[in-house]
Every structure is written in C-alpha cells, then in structure tokens.
Amino acid sequence: MKIALIAEHTNPLSAHKGEPTCGESVHISAISRHLAKRGHRVTVFSRRNAPDLPDRSRMGRGVNVEHIAAGPESAVTADRAADHTGAFATALKDRLVDSGPDVVHAFGWTSGLAALSAARDTRENGSAPPIVQTFHSLNVAEQRAGLPKYPDRARMEAAIAGRADAIVVNSADQRFELARMGVPRGRVSVVPFGVDTDHFSVEGSTTAEPWHSRRGERTRIISVTGLASGSGADVLIEALTRLPDAELAIVADPAPVELALDEDAGRLKFLAKEAGVDDRVTLTGPIDRKELPKLLRSADVYVSAAPYDPYGGAVLEAMACGLPIIGKASGSIPGAVLHGTTGVLLRSVGPNTIARALHGLTSSGSTMRAAYGIAGADRAESRFTWQRVAAETERVYAHACPQEDALPLAAGDDAH
C-alpha cells in the first residue's frame, strides 16, 4: 500500500535524528517507519520550514519526506497556522497526482484542510483515495479543560471530522467530543500514542545530573512540560513547598528560544526562589531523546500537572522507564495510567492535590512506587509499542479503503 502522511507544520526528521521535538514529530516519525516495516511505502508531505531542507529526504527504508514550498521558510506561530494552507494544498495536489497514494492520512486540522482540498481529484478514474484524519487534540476538549477558546479552529475541526472517511484519535476523551459533534462512532478509532520500549526501558544507565542530592536522600520528582503559565510547571513548584523531603527536575518542552533568555523560565526560577525551594528545583532545557531515558531512570516518580495532555507521550516514556505516574484524569493520561496499579489519577492538579498524592506515594516507602513502576513498564510494553500502534493504524486504512484495495491483517495481529 502507498501511504501519504500529511503533516503541514511538523517535520518528522527532527524526531528521527533524536533531537528534542514535539509529540507530533515523534508520532509521525515512528508511525511512518513502522508502517514501512510492515511492507508499505510511506511518503510524508511537510511544509518547508527551513531554507536548508532538500526537496526530498530519505528517513529509512520505504519512507521519504517531501518538503513543499508554501509561505516563509521558517516556523509559524499557532495563530498563523492556516495562513499558508491554501498554497500548501495547491502544491500538495500535484504531488499526490504524481505519487498516486492508496490512502491519505492527515495529522492536525490544517493538514486535514489541505488533504481534503488536494486529494479528491487525484485519480484519473474519478475515485479519490480515502482521507484518514488524526486529531491529536480538539479545541472543544481543550476548552473543557480550561484552555483558550479558538472558535475558527473548533469550527474547522468539526467540518473536517464530518468530511473525512475515517478519524483516528488518541483517547476516548476525544472520541466522546466527536460524538457530541454528531460524528458516527463507526468512523472514529482510538489508537493511542506510542513509545519506543527498546529505547525507553527500565534497563540502562542513570545520571546524577541535574539532582541536588544523592539518590535515596530525597524523593526525586521529574516532569517534562511546557514552561508557559497554565502548563503546570508553576503548580509543581508550589507543590514542592509542601514536600520538604523532595526535589524537582523540570525538563522544558522544545522551544525556539534559549532557556536563559526565556521569560517563562525566568518567571519559574523567580517563583522557586520566592517560595524558598530554589535549592531543590532544577530547570533544564530540552533534552536529546537519546539522553532522556537516563534522566527518567534516575528519578523516583513522574508528575504531570498539565490541565490537559492530548498526547501522553512523556507519561508513556516515563512508564516504560519504570516510574510511577501522577497526573490528571483527562486527555490521553487515563488511557495510559491505571489508577492504583501504575499510578495515581487526579480530578484536579492543584498544588495541594499533587502534594497529597506524592505524600501518599512516598510515605509507604519504596514498595508501592516499585510496584507501580513494574506494572507501568509492563503496560507500556504490552499496550503502547509503536509496532502495535502501526498495526492498529493499518487496520484503520484497510477499513477505509475500497474492499478490493484493503489489505489482510498481518499474521499475529489478532493477538493485539
């Protein structure tokens, strides 16, 4: 099967190289490579967002990335995401005509707009390839979590959902929101985010950095999160004031600015100093993915204080490294974390609730943390590998394609 993945604003090459990057880049890089391993030919179409990108890059056997010129050769802000989608769609149509994919899979709402515009007339016999749409996040779900409202985006997401042949979401939470929009449940498949359990695992070395104390002297808390107000980082620092025997490492999400110059980083450092916990808080910049497992394995517990996490990728990576998880029961986290088995799910993520959960997890010694960690690593390995995610995505393609083009499932897929 020839598969076209449309990722207007995301380049999978950064994740493929192991650089710090966003969850969508990790997803597209992993899913394309594992679909290729299953015998498919995959082309990722992305907007050229840097001047040194070639027209075409090979990302492994059976996977190519094509960069389409549309707008400035630089990243664009979220509020300008759709400014160049029309030009991207026009160029994409010619690429799809030339490549003749059997299925087109769009990631994100602007990619969905481009795919719907470009792909309908790509076959000379009049039958266009089916359009599969992945919404990593829906604005209506974000609004319920108290995040900003974007009316235009919300309307476009509803329109795309109504026109796509099949929809893939990361969580039952998003499937519920699509049902509220009137999208038939039969067109929506929940395929979770994945994790590379060969790379993120309990086996391997640890690191003494960036911790202030020796292992065992304090409970080591870690979180990979954005730094902006409302991301949860400030809540973690406030929670630490209630936990005198703990220290915290906050790993910043990838950002286009240097940490030393970032206003949010400066605000968090000031908050830690004012709270009197700056000697127990370390704020690091984005970490290369090849180094991240060592840091995760050196911690005792992973905490997500985000009000809404549509991916759950950082949580899955921490689970795979054997860490118990504390996080809010929203977005993708409830699908990953089993409350009372692999971690603790919270209805809200204020400083008091997080501190109580951490105190309960640490007051029993290391026994409960170890049990949660073992169960989490087992769950990551059994449910969330990219191999399994690729197989489930392949099934969506098979059901969306005309019957004569649908592929039989690979041997052993029923076991998933």
* Cα dihedral 324, 211, 265, 244 sign: positive
Residues 6+ apart with CB under 8 A from 20: 14, 254, 286, 287, 288, 289
Fold of 219-383: Rossmann fold (3.40.50)
Supply the pLDDT for residue 126. Answer: 56
pLDDT at 411 exceeding the cut of 80: no
Amino acid at 25: S
Q: Where does CATH 3.40.50.2000 sit in the chain?
A: 2-194+386-415, 219-383
Nearest to 48 by CA among 94, 11, 95: 11
- Residue 358 dihedral angles phi and psi, to the nearest 5°: -65, -40
Nearest to 138 by CA among 185, 88, 179: 179
Residues in the chain: 416
Nearest to 302 by CA among 228, 200, 384: 200
CATH code, 2-194+386-415 = 3.40.50.2000
For 296-339, the pLDDT digits (tens) are 999 999 999 999 999 999 999 999 999 999 999 999 999 999 99
**Read out DSSP for 360-402?**
HHHHTTHHHHHHHHHHHHHHHHHH-BHHHHHHHHHHHHHHHS-
The DSSP 8-state label assigned to residue 231 in this structure reads: S
Nearest to 297 by CA among 326, 321, 314, 317: 321
When mean pLDDT is compared across 108-122, 208-222, 261-275, the lowest value belongs to: 108-122
Supply the pLDDT for residue 257. Answer: 63
Nearest to 300 by CA among 353, 237, 245, 350: 245
For 347-402, the pLDDT digits (tens) are 999 999 999 999 999 886 678 999 999 999 999 999 999 999 999 999 999 999 97
For 103-158, the pLDDT digits (tens) are 999 999 999 999 999 976 665 445 689 999 999 899 999 998 888 999 999 999 99
For 168-177, the pLDDT digits (tens) are 999 998 999 9
Supply the pLDDT for residue 408. Answer: 45
- Residue 111 dihedral angles phi and psi, to the nearest 5°: -65, -35
> Residues 29, 15: contact at Cβ < 8 Å?
yes
- Residue with the two structure tokens 């029309």: 86
